[in-house]
Structure 1
Amino acid sequence: MQQQPFSFEAAIIAITIVFLILGAFIVMIVLVYRKRRNLHLLEKLNLQSNYKHELLKAQLEIQEQTLTNIGREIHDNIGQVLSFVKLSLNPAGGSLEQLQQKMHDSRELVAKAINDLRDLSKSLNVQYFAHLGLLKAIETEVERMNKSGLLNLNINIKGTPYELGEQCELVLFRIFQEALNNSLKHADARNFTINLQFNTETFNLTLADDGQGFTVADKLGSFNGSGLKNIESRAALIGAVATINSMPGKGCAISLQLNHHISQTNVN
Structure 2
Amino acid sequence: MLYRQIIIVLLLLLNFSRNTVFAQKKIPTKKEVTLVSNQAILLMKEGSYEKSFIQSRLALGKAIQLKDDNLIAGAYNTIAANFDQLSEYDKAFFYYHKGLTYANKTNNDVLKNWINNNLGNIYCFDKKQYEKGIYHYKKSLQYSTRIKDSAQIVFTKLNLTWAYFDIGRYNDGLPYLKYINKHHKKHGDISTIVALNMLNGMYYNYKNDTEKAQFFFKNSIKLGNEGNEKSDLSYSHHEYSKFLLKNGDYKNAYKNLSLFNSITAELNNEERLNKANAAGINLEIDEYKREIDKIESEFKTKEYVLLQKQSRNKKIVIVVILILLFLLILFYISSENAKLKQKNKLKDLRSKAQENMINASINGQELERKKIASFLHDNISALLSSAGLHLHAHTSQNQSSSEEIIKTKAILEEAHNQVRDLSHELMPSLLARFGLFDALDDLCEKNSNSILHFDYSSSVERKTRYDEDFEMKIYFIIMELLNNTLKHSHAHHARLNIHENNDFLDIDIMDDGKGFDSSKFHVLEGFGLNQIRARINNLKGTITVDSKLDSGTRIKIMVPITYQKKIIRPVFQSQ
Normalised by the length of structure 2, the TM-score is 0.26
1:135 to 437, 456, 460: 437
Q: 1:120 to 1:159 in 2, by over 3 A?
A: same
Distance 1:263 1:137, change over 3 A: same
Question: Is the Cα–Cα contact under 8 Å of residues 241 and 257 in structure 1 kept in the other structure?
Answer: yes
Does structure 1 residue 252 correspond to structure 2 residue 560? Answer: no
Structure 2 CA distance for aligned equivalents of residues 61 and 215 of structure 1: 34
Residue among 506, 525, 538 paired with 1:237:
538
Once structures 1 and 2 are overlaid, which stretch shifts more, 211-220 or 155-164? 155-164
Unmatched 5+ stretches in structure 1: 1-46, 64-115
Equivalent residue, structure 1, for 2:454: 153
Largest Rg, 1 or 2: 2
Of the candidates 511, 525, 536, which is equivalent to residue 209 of structure 1?
511
Aligned to 2:477: 175
* CA distance in 1: counterparts of 2:513 and 2:425, whole angstroms: 30
Counting only pairs closer than 5 Å after superposition, residues 90-169 of structure 1 correspond to structure 2 as 120=421, 123-124=424-425, 126=427, 128=429, 129-146=431-448, 148-161=449-462, 162-169=464-471
Change (3 A) 1:124 1:149: same
Note closer, same or farther for the CA distance 1:50–1:176 as it changes in structure 2 (3 Å cut).
Answer: closer
Q: Is the 8 A contact 1:194 1:208 kept in 2?
A: yes
1:186 aligns with 2:488: yes
More displaced 10-residue stretch of structure 1: 214-223 or 232-241: 214-223
Measured against aligned partners, the alpha-carbon deviations of 1:159-213 in whole angstroms (never above 9, x if no partner) come to 4353231111111111111111111111101111000102342211111111100
Deviation (angstroms), 1:219: 4.0
Assess if the C-alpha contact under 8 Å between 2:510 and 2:555 holds in 1: yes
How many residues are matched?
Answer: 164
CA contact under 8 A between 1:188 and 1:211: conserved in structure 2? yes
Higher relative contact order (CA 8 A, sep 6+): 1
SS at match of 2:545: strand
Residue 54, structure 1, aligned to residue 357, structure 2? no
Coordinate RMSD, CA, aligned = 3.3
1:163 and 1:263 mapped to 2: Cα distance?
8
Structure 2: give runs of 5+ residues left out of the alignment: 1-354, 372-416, 566-575
Letter of the 1:180 counterpart: L
Q: CA deviation at 1:149?
A: 3.0
CA 1:256–1:164 in 2, change beyond 3 Å: closer, same or farther?
farther
How many angstroms apart in 1 are the aligned matches of 2:519 and 2:359? 27
Aligned pair in 2 of structure 1 residues 52, 142: CA closer, same or farther (>3 Å)?
same
Alpha-carbon distance, 1:57 to partner:
2.5
For residues 34-69 of structure 1, the C-alpha deviation after alignment (integer angstroms, 9 at most, x for no partner) is xxxxxxxxxxxxx99975532233466899xxxxxx
Q: Would the alpha carbon gap of residues 239 and 219 (structure 1) be closer, same or farther in structure 2, given more than 3 Å must change?
A: closer
| d(CA) in 2 for partners of 1:219, 1:199 | 26
Select the structure that is richer in strand. Answer: 1
CA contact (8 A) 1:211 1:249 kept: yes
Q: What SS does the corresponding residue of 1:208 show, helix, strand or coil?
A: strand
- Kept in 2, the 8 Å contact 1:212–1:248? The answer is yes
Once the 2 structures are TM-superposed, how far is the Cα of residue 138 of structure 1 from its aligned partner? 0.9
Whether the 8 Å contact between 1:238 and 1:263 is mirrored in structure 2 is no
Contact 2:455 2:496 in 1 (8 A): yes
| Matching residue's letter, 2:557 | L
TM-score norm. by structure 1 comes to 0.52
> Conserved in 2, the CA contact under 8 Å of 1:239 and 1:263?
no
Does structure 1 conserve the Cα–Cα contact (< 8 Å) formed by 2:443 and 2:479?
Answer: no
Q: CA deviation at 1:217?
A: 2.1
Contact 1:156 1:194 in 2 (8 A): yes
